[in-house]
Structure 1
Amino acid sequence: MRVSVINISLIAAIVQAQQLFITTTGYTERPQCTQSPASPSYHFQPFSFTLNETVRYATSVPSPTSTQTYAPPYSEAVKRLSASPATTTWGSYLPGHTVINATDTNDPYGQAAWSSLWQNVKLDNYTTTGLYSTTVSPTPIPSSELVLPPRDYFGSTDCYSFPDDFIFGVAGSAAQVEGAVALEGRGPTILEKLAGLTQPKNYVTAENYFLYKQDIQRLASMGVKYYSFSIPWARILPFALPGTPVNQEGIKHYDDLINTVLDAGMQPIVTLLHFDSPWVFVSSDNATAKPDFGAKNGGYQNETFVDAFVNYAKIVLSHYADRVPVWVTFNEPWLYSFNFAGANNVVHAHAQVYHFYHDVLKATGKMGIKFNDNFGVPRDPKNSSDVHAARRFQEQYLGFYANPIFLGQQYPDSVLQTLPGAKPLSKEELRYIGNTSDFFGIDPYTTTVVSQPAEGIDECAANRTDPLWPICVVQETKNVYGWNIGYRSQSYTYMAPTYLREYLNYLWNTFRQPVLVGEFGFPVYAEAEKELSDQLFDTPRSIYYLSYMSEILKSIHEDGVHVMGALAWSWVDNWEFGDYNQQFGIQVLNHTTQQRFFKKSFFDLVDFVGARLSSS
């Protein structure tokens, strides 16, 4: 049996990572320091109350002096599309209102048809739109909000700097912060039906759709240089499919948003699909059906998906590629496409968009894809079955997509032998798909301890009713000695920074592209239940971010890993798919007033990076 290079690299990286589980080093070692006197000298001196801290303020991003371009402007780019898409505008949908007033019933893409999309989705309890109905003009950020918090007692002692081209910023996604879901022509997506009847919906969230100018100014005032956001497919093409009209209001909105980011001295990073695929791909002929999220149904397996996504991407790129330096095609596709047809569609669609961006537009920015995966380490690195389980874990989460996209290699055997309908890619397909990502995007929030199930992997893989199928490994959060892998958060995230370094090492040496940490964050336990002042003083989150950034520095300087950048999730407490209590934000959000408040971790993270930039 031939063992591939990817498997050998994986085993080596995992074994190295697992050594951290069994270390016997305690806390008795003393750091090197200057020699202290043999005995103290006691004495009296005058006493006075003095400030222990020098007041410091966050440093805003400077205004730009020029704007770099990465592709031809829309007037030229549109000529490279097969046909110039028609544009139109629609109104807003409120139940019982728009449908009654629409009279263009003979127009397949008119107001009546657009309203029917929403009527068929049957939104639960959707009767209002929040505080705002138009873009809010920004106001200056008071200097009193930009005073740095008290320093933590213990801090990093590293002496490394980030490279000049290191990307540091914050991230969010449209569905989780924008609100305005049925306003200004946006079509319905699968996320409008994700939350249950008793859970908060994404109808309002942080109202970023109307407050983006203020939000961008707040980020710039803190010194953030990169802002990562997503564009909802259904806000650009409400009817989703090729040949359907483009929503002119959506085009204008993101055009202004990108210009606002640039005018603030920041750089945009844009994701084309962040979970919110249009409802049409899961509704099929039954528009009232609720998608089966337990089966990872995001509509990606629909036979029309590839052509439709590529068409949507071409429209967006033709409008904005000239000003955006970094693009992500799919965010964490495993979560919504884990069946063979869905993942196979993602791989093909991504490759087509990459070739359009670089080969047709001749764009000079970066185009990549971003995955979800918490590094799977074997429970016992000396146990070959646990190592095998860890290898399978990585193949199922990453190799499925990354083997063809990054290496031009076949889907892993563990995928082809497990998933129904799976078939190998042809040599011609592999040549076209291979090397179609300029970076390896990853969202490494935490780590998972992996071992084989009691019945064995093969028996599980052959039984689709097994609760562990199709991954078919046991996933735990405790090491072989019963200790948690790290400090626990409100959700699945455990603070495990040392494993991040091992993971980056594995990704760089296996897939051979710069690594972009596209998301990482920590929802402090029970933070939503605290008083505002206690939510703001979020020391556990600070420890998480600074320890992870320290490990990134070690990875760069000690391991030779090209880490392209890191984006903190998220820039504000948001809608975590039906939950507001998992507060990942580095700003508190008041859901009643829509006010934002900077948290301590925001200051600490920006201060840490700013002090370690080579150009500083």
Structure 2
Amino acid sequence: MEMPQCPKIYRNLLAIFFIFLFSYNPVESKGKTPHVVSRHTFPQDFLFGVGTSALQVEGSAREGGRGLSVWDDIFMHDTGSIKDIEKCDKMIDHYNRYSEDVKLLKKLGIDSYRFSIAWSRILPDGTLEGGVNQQGVDFYNNLINELISNDITPFVTILHFDYPLNLFRNGGFLNPDIVKHFKDYSDVLFQNFGDRVKYWTTFNEPEITAIFNYMHGFDNPMAEKCEITKECREVYNLMHNFILSHAASVQIYREKYQAIQKGEIGIVMSIEDYIPFSRKPEDVAATVRLRDFYTGWVLEPVMKGDYPQSMKSLVGDRLPKFTEEEKKLLKGSIDFYGINYYRSFYGKDQPNKLLISNLDNYDSLAVKDIFNDEGMILGVTDNATMSFVNPQGLYNVLVYLKETYNNLKIYITENGIGSGTISKPLKDNHRVDYIASHINYVKQAIDVGVNVKGFFVWSAFDTFEFHQGFSDKWGLIYVDFNNNLKRVPKQSARWYRWFLTGDKNFV
């Protein structure tokens, strides 16, 4: 059964694997901030923001009537694989310090704050029958009101990996009953917060959860053991219920609330750019399959009502089928899509699924590679994190989405980089370079007609990054665990404020 995880784990494992696998000295980033377009060159209604998730910042897992989530169970049974486990109960104490944190967000000069709501804080056992926790409703009402009073637009994710432990113990997203429970939960949120929340996303990266936790079994001792035969089935059932849960949530929003509340609803997925490993036709075809088995796995059903044809052909009867009624419910079930972009890969054909390992989808008959057949990487190597950075890949995927999916609205819901092992985390020049470069390519995409409506830096604060704990320091704002969780703006925060307001001073 499912144990949610963070996509940064996925990226870190890949980076470590390829760095040790290849003896190669790639080009390093020069550490100079690239020229960046002005905030004022973007459309007036374009949202610039930052993001976090409830699990990664709130803490107070046993306060305010909150029930336990799947990750609380992982914390209780961790055998030493999670860094900073002693900090997980409190996290950065956003639950108690949200007012202070919103004031810092205001100083950043952002338009919007993307955050998630903890299902188990609203419905402690995950079900409507188990009762609504009014203290949880009050907390999010207070947070939302605080944001709005500071001219910050709430941008809410309904589920960001941390669903209730009670539901997990009853099968989680492998149990079709989850569709009803997610619909009920969504209804409670729309009813209580939809008068002020105008941007909703149902899920954050369900396809990453499926691949990481079910196909490869990380954080999930109960996962189907398909590493030998490569004939996985559970992962497709899991994603099927994610997608049907999304559709059910959108249906109730559109039928009961949208006309009155005048909001929008979408879904968030991780996305990567894929370039053929070589000029061989089979490698070109492999990049298409990679897109189908990651991006298309989510977008084809919610845009067109069914899975990509390549998935149907290669997965066969292990891929669940939508009924005709479900197809109608799914088709067009998003007003926008959110994309989390961090990096790109070369796509390489691998016709023998028994030779596919690491974190690739066995059924795609394709693998991702850091280097191409000439030993070249995509983009540059960030010298603070030793990760591979390709800002142009963001432009490429934006254009691809425009051309493939009728230029629907896009929000870049996550983009950012950790701090790796830099000795002075407040001096994060590499993060400034990273964000500035990606913003430049977003503007180029807008200039060629892509309907991009927002850009959110991940993350606002140094958040808990699952197995990496707080060691990667992804935030614009540093959290000092040796000084009562004091918040300190980093150089990147001052740069972002300057980009948005023309002023670097936090006063």
**TM over 0.5, yes or no?**
yes
SS at 2:65 equivalent: coil
Secondary structure of the residue that 1:374 maps to in structure 2?
strand
Aligned to 2:485: 594
**2:456 aligns to what?**
567
Residue in structure 2 matching 1:359, options 235, 255, 265? 255
Q: Is the 8 A contact 1:508 1:515 kept in 2?
A: no
What SS class does the counterpart of residue 298 from structure 2 fall into? helix
Instruction: Tell whether the 8 Å contact from 1:501 to 1:551 is kept in structure 2 after alignment.
Output: yes
- Please state if 1:504 is matched with 2:401: no
Matched, 1:348 2:244: yes
Matched residue, 2:445: 555
**Match for residue 440 of structure 1?**
337
- The secondary structure found in structure 1 opposite 2:499 is helix
Cα gap change, 1:156 to 1:413, in 2 (>3 Å): closer
**Residues 159, 347 of structure 1: CA spacing in aligned structure 2 closer, same or farther, 3 A cutoff?**
closer
Contact 1:242 / 1:307 at 8 angstroms: preserved in 2? no
Deviation at 1:238, TM superposition (A): 0.8
CA positional deviation for 1:479: 3.5
Name 1:398's counterpart in structure 2. Answer: 295
The residue aligned with 1:526 is: 421
Which has the higher relative contact order, 1 or 2, with Cα contacts under 8 A spaced 6 or more apart?
2
Change (3 A) 1:405 1:461: farther
Query: CA shift at 1:221, angstroms?
Result: 1.6
Shift of 1:373: 2.3
Match of 2:225 in 1: none
Q: Secondary structure at the match of 1:445?
A: strand
* Residue 284 (structure 1) shift: 3.1
Distance 2:294 2:359 in 1: 18
Task: State the match for 1:369 in structure 2.
Answer: 267
Offset at residue 232 of structure 1 (A)? 0.5
Judging changes above 3 Å, is the alpha-carbon distance between structure 1 residues 154 and 175 closer, same or farther for their aligned structure 2 residues? Answer: closer
Is the contact between residue 265 and residue 334 of structure 2 (CA under 8 Å) also seen in structure 1?
Answer: yes
SS of 1:349's partner is helix
Deviation of residue 270 (structure 1)? 0.7
1:416 deviates by 5.7
Paired letter, 2:243? V
1:314 aligns with 2:187: yes
Distance across 1 between alignment mates of 2:357 and 2:418: 34
In structure 2, distance between residues paired with 1:490 and 1:277: 34
Deviation per CA, 1:351-409: give whole Å up to 9, x if none.
Answer: 121121122112311100000122222212x2211111111111111211211211234
Q: Distance in 2 between matches of 1:384 and 1:243?
A: 55
TM-fit CA distance, 1:464: 10
State how far apart, in whole Å, the 1-side matches of 2:421 and 2:96 are: 29
Higher normalized helix content (fraction of residues): 2
For the pair shown, which has the larger CA radius of gyration, 1 or 2?
A: 1
Counterpart selection for 2:371 from 475, 478, 484:
478
| Poorly superposed stretches of 4+, deviation over 4 Å | 151-154, 157-160, 461-468, 489-493
1:467–1:501: structure 2 CA closer, same or farther, 3 Å change rule?
A: closer
Cα drift, residue 510 of structure 1: 1.1
Amino acid at match of 1:572: F
Worse overlay, 335-344 or 263-272: 335-344
Q: Report the alpha carbon displacement of residue 158 of structure 1 after superposing the two structures with TM.
A: 7.6
* Aligned with residue 606 of structure 1, among 489, 497, 507: 497
1:273-301: CA deviation from partner (whole Å, max 9, x where unpaired): 0000111233239xxxxxxxxxxxxx322
Taking structure 1 as reference, are residues 320 and 175 closer, same or farther at Cα in structure 2, changes over 3 Å only? same
CA contact (8 A) 2:33 2:429 kept: no
Query: Secondary structure of the residue that 2:173 maps to in structure 1?
Result: coil
Counterpart secondary structure, 2:157:
strand
Residue 356 to residue 154, structure 1, CA distance change in 2 (3 Å): closer
CA 1:153–1:258 in structure 2 vs 1: closer, same or farther (change >3 Å)? Answer: closer
Q: In structure 2, do the counterparts of structure 1 residues 153 and 574 end up closer, same or farther at CA, with 3 Å as the change threshold?
A: closer
- For the aligned residue pairs, the C-alpha RMSD in angstroms reads 2.6
Q: Distance in 2 between matches of 1:419 and 1:591?
A: 51
Q: Secondary structure at the match of 1:524?
A: coil
Question: Does the CA contact (< 8 Å) of 1:419 and 1:470 recur in 2?
Answer: no
Cα distance change on mapping 1:265 and 1:388 into 2, 3 Å? same
For 1:378, give the aligned amino acid. Answer: P
- Decide whether aligned partners of structure 1 residues 227 and 248 sit closer, same or farther in structure 2, where only a CA change above 3 A counts: same
Tell me if structure 2 keeps the 8 A contact 1:445–1:520: yes
**Structure 2 CA distance, aligned partners of 1:231 and 1:548?**
28
Q: Structure 1 residues 248 and 466 mapped into 2: Cα distance closer, same or farther (>3 Å)? A: closer
Query: Which runs of 5 or more residues in structure 2 are unaligned?
Result: 1-26, 212-234, 503-507
Residue of structure 1 in register with 2:145 after alignment? 259
Between the aligned partners of 1:225 and 1:465, the Cα distance in structure 2 is 39
Is it true that 1:577 corresponds to 2:457 in the alignment? no
Percent identical residues: 26
Q: Secondary structure at the match of 1:184?
A: coil
Specify the SS of the correspondent of 2:342.
Answer: coil
CA 507–491 in structure 1, closer or farther in 2 if over 3 Å, else same: farther
Q: Report the counterpart of residue 224 of structure 1 in structure 2.
A: 110
Residue type matched to 1:227 in 2?
Answer: Y
- Which piece of structure 1 moves more, 416-425 or 207-216? 416-425
Partner of 2:21: none
1:24-44: CA deviations, max 9, x gaps?
xx9xxxxxxxxxxxxxxxxxx
**Does the C-alpha gap of structure 1 residues 210 and 350 become closer, same or farther in structure 2, counting only changes over 3 Å?**
same
Match of 1:271 among 139, 157, 162: 157
Q: Distance in 2 between matches of 1:537 and 1:480?
A: 36
| Residue deviations 1:543-566 (CA, integer Å, cap 9, x gap) | 000000000001101x21111111
Alpha-carbon contact 1:184-1:249 (below 8 Å) kept:
yes
Contact kept? 2:335, 2:409, Cα under 8 Å: yes
Q: Which of 221, 238, 241 is the aligned partner of 2:127?
A: 241
Query: Could you tell me whether the CA contact under 8 Å between 2:38 and 2:499 is conserved in 1?
Result: no
Q: Does the 8 Å CA contact 1:301/1:337 hold for their aligned counterparts?
A: no
Please name the residue that 1:379 is paired with. Answer: 277
* Distance in 2 between residues matched to 1:525 and 1:419, nearest whole Å: 42
Matched, 1:332 2:205: yes
Partner of 1:162: 42
The AA in structure 1 aligned to 2:303 is F
Structure 1, 221-230 or 543-552: larger mean CA deviation: 221-230
Query: What CA distance in whole angstroms lies between the structure 1 residues aligned with 2:400 and 2:177?
Result: 35
| 1:242 positional shift | 3.1
Distance 1:208 1:471, change over 3 A: farther
State the 1:468 CA deviation: 5.4
The answer (yes or no) to whether the contact 2:459–2:475 under 8 Å persists in 1 is: yes
Please show how residues 70-109 of structure 1 align to structure 2 within 5 Å: none
1:423, CA displacement in angstroms?
A: 3.0
Judge conservation of contact 1:194–1:578 (CA < 8 Å) in 2.
no
Q: TM-score, length-normalised on structure 2?
A: 0.81
Distance in structure 1 (CA, Å) of the matches to 2:33 and 2:247:
49
2:434 aligned residue: 544
TM-score, structure 1 length as denominator?
0.67
Match for residue 430 of structure 1 among 327, 332, 339: 327
Rounded to whole Å, the distance in 2 between the matches of 1:568 and 1:393 is 26
Gaps of 5+ in 1: 1-25, 27-150, 286-298, 612-616
